[in-house]
Amino acid sequence: MRSIEFLGNFLTDIPMLANEFLGNPLHDWVISLFIILGGIIVTRTVYWFIEKYLKGLAEKTKTKLDDILLETLKKPLVFGGGLAGAWFGLKYLDFSDYPGVDAWINGFFSVLITFVAASLICKLFEAVLDQYVAPYFEDTENDLDDALLPIFRRGVRTIVWVVAVIMALDNAGYDITTVLAGLGVAGMAFALAAKDSLSNLFGGFTIFTDKPFSLRERIKIGGFDGTVTEIGLRSTRLKTLDGRMVTIPNSKISDNSVENVSSEASRKVVVNLGLTYDMDDTKIERAMAVLREIAEEHKDDVEDDFAVGFKEFGDFALNLVFVYRITKGSDILGTQTSVNMAILKRFNAEGLEMAFPSQTIYNKSI
């Protein structure tokens, strides 16, 4: 301030600068220009200091956050500092003889600074998003997050700029009550018109957050049984066991129970075997031993916690039960086929005859 006073006293002694322009002597205009130039010099000095020293220090740190902050903030801060210098320079002048000029200057620069702040927030948000969030989503198998990320990016950017425009209009002296009321009515109309789409969108977001299934997993929902081939914003596609493609709205998925078949740790298989009643206890024990041996022979695909037992005396057979679990990742149908073929071959070789529905009729004479 002392330098400005000294400059003012010096310029006042120059007769030519005593002339007025727009109600202000020329020496005040010169001082205003010096303030503006001083603001530009200060901001350029700050920019040079960031490039020369702070950027090098940031590169030596382990975290990338300081590099992002410097790279993102330096230009908006310099531009904002220049605007602030121009604002203070013009405020040094007295426009009381011209009603409305001061209000126009204040509104103009407040609008510009508001937009600079909005741009700064958007740039900082996108830089952090690209550095920390986007790489995480790229490593996931789910393509829904890849679709949601651009929408989230645009949504946040839109919200920031809408708020900035409203604040700028308010700073410029406009009545924003009507604007807010109009936005509220437009928002309600849009919500009603896009109710189904929004429902599907929120359903997709639910799938993304809850993760009831992922791509290439088999699920059962609403009578459909198939493998997930695509997870989109509005719908999810399944390839059924028949090879048909089914498109299910995400809202239906979020509102219904989903059975994730692929999430099972192993596939439980129950084999019921009936032997004829002419089998004695030795053959029954041998049959159970054969089943245990078959399970051991398939230990690469069958878990160790299998069970074999003599279940019951049936109407026409002595019923055995063989319960085993196929390990996750194994060929389910192939393992079942191999086990069943082994049972058939070994039982035939051991003379263990399987029963079929039959009746024995006794004719007793009276």
Report the pLDDT averaged over residues 350-354: 90
User: DSSP assignment of 233-273, as one string?
Assistant: SSEEEEEETTS-EEEEEHHHHHHS--EEGGG-SEEEEEEEE
Q: Which fold has domain 264-350?
A: Alpha-Beta Plaits (3.30.70)
Q: Which region among 11-25, 206-220, 252-266, 302-316 has the lowest average model confidence (pLDDT)?
A: 11-25
Q: Are strands 235-240 and 245-249 parallel, antiparallel or unpaired?
A: antiparallel
Please report which helix (H) or strand (E) contains residue 118, including its range.
helix 101-128
Q: Three-class SS of residue 129?
A: helix
Query: How far lies 252's CA from each of 99, 131, 215, 256, in Å?
Result: 62, 35, 18, 6
Which top CATH class is 202-262?
A: mainly beta
Q: Which residues of 56-95 are buried (b: 16+ CB within 10 A; e: fewer)?
A: eebeeeeeeebebebebbbebbbbbbbbbbbbebbebbeb
Report the pLDDT averaged over residues 270-281: 91
Band (341; pLDDT cuts 50, 70, 90)? very high
Band (328; pLDDT cuts 50, 70, 90)? confident
- pLDDT for the residue numbered 188: 66
Report the pLDDT averaged over residues 54-67: 64
Which residue did the predictor score with more confidence, 191 or 88? 88
Give the list of residues 6+ apart from residue 273 with CB closer than 8 angstroms, or none.
287, 291, 319, 320, 321, 322, 343, 354
DSSP state of 20: E
Band (222; pLDDT cuts 50, 70, 90)? confident
Reply yes or no on whether the pLDDT at 114 is more than 70: yes
DSSP state of 53: I
Reply yes or no on whether the pLDDT at 18 is more than 70: no
Query: Beta-strand (E) ranges in the chain?
Result: 20-21, 24-25, 218-221, 224-231, 235-240, 245-249, 259-260, 266-275, 307-313, 318-327
Residue pair 182/222 in contact by the 8 Å Cβ criterion: no
The domain limits of the chain are 2-177, 202-262, 264-350
